[in-house]
Amino acid sequence: MTQDNDPIGEAIARLRERAQRQGAAETGSDEAGPRLAIDAERHRLRQLEALLFAAAEPLDIETLQARLPAEAEVEALLAALQADYAERGVRLVEVGGRWRFETAPDLASLLEEVKEEPRRLSDAGLETLAIIAYHQPVTRAEIEEIRGVAVSKGTIDLLFEIGWIRLRGRRRSPGRPVTYGTTDAFLDYFGLSAIGDLPGVADLKAAGLLDSRLPPGFEVPDPGLGLRGEGEDDALDLTGEDAPDFHVDFMEDEEGEDD
């Protein structure tokens, strides 16, 4: 940077000239005047720096002038501060007539933060997930029978994509439909140690999720019914007389199939 393009040097030179004209008369010393003036200017630079750092939004010259001493030359101070920060990690820039500090462009990659935006489940997705959790292993037809409406492929695909459901096998019935169940990721997300820890009727009522006046015969199924262990696809209890038919699944290793 040449002397002609040195804002700090120019600002100091102007200060020296002004101090030389006024310093001797005001201070009685040819040396004290310039030194005091330079110290005052540096103090204003610090004040300007503090204002810009603390500001929640860019500041215009009028706002800065109102906050600084009346004798402060804001434009000269901004130029000096801008030059001082030119090679630092942050720099002083003018945006639309206002001034602010920002990260140096070549260092922007250091501050990048990648966040995975969670996909919000629709009401249909939540209902489908709840049915699978409480009735697993359950087929799509059974989900639709419980909900009373068709289940879109997109809803099932989204639950697979999130990682909360998995295939449990095929039903020993005409058409051999696939059945669905929850995953360990589902348990982890909802803070459950086992699927049997899902809330029952009393818990749902206490949380205000169920009307206190339920229809006759209403019950919440036991999500652990018929399961002998967690994470075992073939751990199905086929002996319980009260187990619903859709718990009678089998897990055969078939060519081309993957659980």
At 43-88, the pLDDT tens digits run: 999 999 999 999 989 999 999 999 998 888 999 999 999 999 999 9
Separation of first and last alpha carbons in the chain: 68
> Strand, helix or coil at 178?
strand
- Predicted local confidence at residue 70, as pLDDT: 87
Task: Name the DSSP class of 182.
Answer: E
Residue 179 CA to residue 229 CA, distance in Å, equals 17
Q: What is the spatial distance between Cα 74 and Cα 96, in angstroms, rounded to a whole number?
A: 17
The residues spanned by each domain of the chain are: 3-104, 123-250
Give me the residue label for tokens 């003018």: 94
Predicted pLDDT at 95: 85
Query: What is the CB neighbour count within 10 angstroms for residue 15?
Result: 19
Reading the block at residue 37, the tokens are 């003036």
H-assigned helices in 28-60: 32-54
Residue 167, SS3? strand
Asked if the domains at 3-104 and 123-250 fall in one CATH topology, the answer is yes
What pLDDT is stored for residue 180 in this prediction? 93
Question: What pLDDT sits at residue 42?
Answer: 87
pTM reported for the whole predicted model? 0.43
Query: Residue 85 class from Cβ within 10 Å (0-12 exposed, 13-18 middle, 19+ buried)?
Result: middle
How far is CA 250 from each of CA 203, 227, 237, rounded to the nearest angstrom? 32, 13, 11
- Give CA–CA dist 105/160, Å, rounded: 40
Q: What is the pLDDT of residue 121?
A: 81
Interatomic CA distance for residues 131 and 221, integer angstroms? 10
Q: Alpha carbon of 31 to those of 12, 39, 43, 64, 119: distances in Å?
A: 15, 13, 19, 30, 69
Assign a CATH topology to domain 123-250.
Answer: Arc Repressor Mutant, subunit A (1.10.10)
pLDDT per residue, tens digit, the chain (259 aa), is: 444 566 666 766 766 676 666 555 444 445 555 667 778 888 999 999 999 999 989 999 999 999 998 888 999 999 999 999 999 999 999 988 899 999 998 888 888 777 766 667 888 888 899 889 888 888 999 999 888 888 888 899 999 998 999 998 888 888 899 999 999 888 888 888 888 888 776 666 665 655 555 555 555 565 655 333 333 343 343 333 333 443 344 444 343 344 3
CB 1 within 8 A of CB 83: yes
What pLDDT is recorded for position 254?
41
Residue 2 tokens, joined: 């040449």
Amino acid at 242: D
CATH of range 3-104; options 3.40.1130.10, 1.10.1040.10, 1.10.10.10, 1.10.1060.10:
1.10.10.10
Q: How far apart are CA 217 and CA 16, in angstroms?
A: 94
